[in-house]
Structure 1
Amino acid sequence: MRPSNTRRATAACLGVLAADRDRLTIATFASGGRALLPPALSRFVADHPGVELTILEREPEDSLPLVREGRADLALAYHFDGPPPARPGDRSGLDWAPLISDPLRVVLPHANPHARRRSIHLAELAGERWVLGCMKTLDLLRHYADLAGFELRISCGATDYLFAQSLVGAGVGIALIPSIALTQADDLVAIPLEPPSPCRFIGIATSRRRRGPAQPYLDALRCLLMSATT
């Protein structure tokens, strides 16, 4: 066979292999993907090396529609206080499997007078300035500040929890950070809030209607994610 024919034959074979390869697309929010996905994915890749994975970084308002429309097979997502984004018998088209509760902690620099507390009520932080690590927490924090009877003073509205914690370390303000997004910085402390306190609830969303040949792999990955958090 001539070299050109050999190349064409090789390319054709690779094309067939690629067409036969199972694919899974996973949508995840950043802090959840960083903390929860790697242990499950390392096991999954070892057990199923022929599955082609695509990871999309998306917030729940974008990842859940992707699953509903069939453009993602699974979404690692979250909701704050209140009902989950999908419940049995609703019209969401999704199944929701709860994974973990992710309570939000107050992050303070060591120099803060409250830094040695084992827990604290939000009302005791009325005089502080706040750094937001995610703009979604603004309404949540404002709601709990209203319950505590004070008005928020915002120093920075960031979109990254790591950046927000670096600003806390620099003395810009204090922050409300989900537990799985906490860093191990020596100059910071994370203190639980006394009730009533906000929480983030993390779970897995899959399509209720769309099942294909890759479904066994999807089920295996979902089981790995759930076992990694128990």
Structure 2
Amino acid sequence: MYDPTRLAALVAVAEAGSITRAADRLGYTPPALSQQLTKLEREAGTALLVRHHRGARLTEAGEMLVARARRVLDELERARHELARLTGLSGGALRLGTFPTAGVHLLPPALSAFRRAHPDVLLSVADYDPPSGVTAVAAGEVDLALTHTYHPAEPVPVPSSVGLEPVLEEELVLVTAPGHALSSASSRLPLDHLAGQPLISMAPHHPARREVEALLAEAGASPALLVPTPGYAVVCALVSAGLGVAVVPEMVARTAVTPVGVRPLEGGRLRRTISVAHRAEEVAPAAEAFRALLRGAFGRAGRAAAP
């Protein structure tokens, strides 16, 4: 039996024309999505995609499977909608909190799927810089909030009334200007190779990244430009312009608007975990349905991306 998540991935590639664009739409990293497609091809016993420099196209077998996958996925959506009406999701509201990266790359496809399954639920979205989304959940301002933690880092206290469910774990990677010597290879870069490199330093005194910045300093990276808060779009633009190198989450690097070189770091020690915060003792049907959707949409990708 084919995994519906992998079928949805194949349909997304067929519609987007490339694995990179499909991954952006679904909220995966391209390597994680490619891994899901490879598993689907193993299940099918034949090639479903032909990858080329401009993207990817379906084989004859892929065209046949996509046609049937669309019907299967449509039936699953109808079933979710009918079950929602039986379980009280024919109305009500869902208030969500998010932070910028998740709001741009993770939340839209998840909300789109939720809206298709539960069209009568009123949705609202608010921005919270982590960890303030956790506080907003505890205060009842929102039902759920996407938040993040970096590793290594000092543990952040979480109110006893709030639970954190990991959704996605990603490595931090090096970004450089296009053509930079450090990004010319695909192998993992030892941290000590950053010695003497001009680093665009992201909030060395900000609690979320303090330990990450300390490790980069120990490796010998030389702060050349300080961005007081981790505004990743700005950081990638500065890197692209040749003002220094930076270490950012892989999702940020792969979806940067400005061209950058990307290279993984040795050891996988630097990571970011994206979680959904929820009230631990309260079971609201809409919030529970959205958490289940997040698990289905990003859980496999999160485990695949983990070091």
The TM-score range, normalised by the shorter chain, is 0.7 to 0.9
1:71 to 113, 136, 141: 141
Match of 2:63 in 1: none
Measure, in 1, the Cα distance between the counterparts of 2:156 and 2:145.
12
Max Rg structure:
1
SS of 2:183 mapped into structure 1? coil
Give, in angstroms, the shift of residue 210 of structure 1: 3.5
Match of 2:248 in 1: 177
Equivalenced residues, count: 204
Match of 1:208 in 2: 280
Measure, in 2, the Cα distance between the counterparts of 1:185 and 1:41.
23
**Deviation digits for residues 128-181 of structure 1 (CA, Å, limit 9, x no counterpart):** 112245664652333212443x26313131542111111111111111110111
The reply to whether residue 28 of structure 1 matches residue 86 of structure 2 is no
Give, in angstroms, the shift of residue 186 of structure 1: 7.7
CA 1:129/1:77 → structure 2, altered by over 3 Å: closer, same or farther?
same
CA contact (8 A) 2:178 2:260 kept: yes
TM norm structure 2: 0.60
SS of 1:60 mapped into structure 2? coil
2:286 to 217, 224, 229: 217
**Structure 1 unpaired stretches of 5+:** 1-19
CA contact (8 A) 1:37 1:225 kept: no
Identity %, equivalent residues: 26
Structure number with higher relative contact order (C-alpha < 8 Å, ≥ 6 residues apart) = 1
Measure, in 1, the Cα distance between the counterparts of 2:146 and 2:209.
22
Give, in angstroms, the shift of residue 112 of structure 1: 1.8
Give, in angstroms, the shift of residue 61 of structure 1: 2.0
Match of 2:224 in 1: 154
What's the C-alpha RMSD, in Å, of the aligned pairs? Answer: 2.5
Kindly report which structure 2 residues correspond to 1:117-128, keeping only aligned pairs within 5 A, or say none.
117-118=185-186, 119-128=188-197
Q: Spell out structure 1 runs of 4+ moving beyond 6 A.
A: none
Give, in angstroms, the shift of residue 220 of structure 1: 0.8
Q: Which has the higher helix share?
A: 2
SS of 2:106 mapped into structure 1? helix
CA 1:80/1:187 → structure 2, altered by over 3 Å: closer, same or farther?
closer
Measure, in 2, the Cα distance between the counterparts of 1:83 and 1:188.
30
Letter in 2 for 1:80: Y
The reply to whether residue 193 of structure 1 matches residue 265 of structure 2 is yes
SS of 1:153 mapped into structure 2? strand
Match of 1:60 in 2: 130
**Structure 2 unpaired stretches of 5+:** 1-89, 301-307
Letter in 1 for 2:297: A
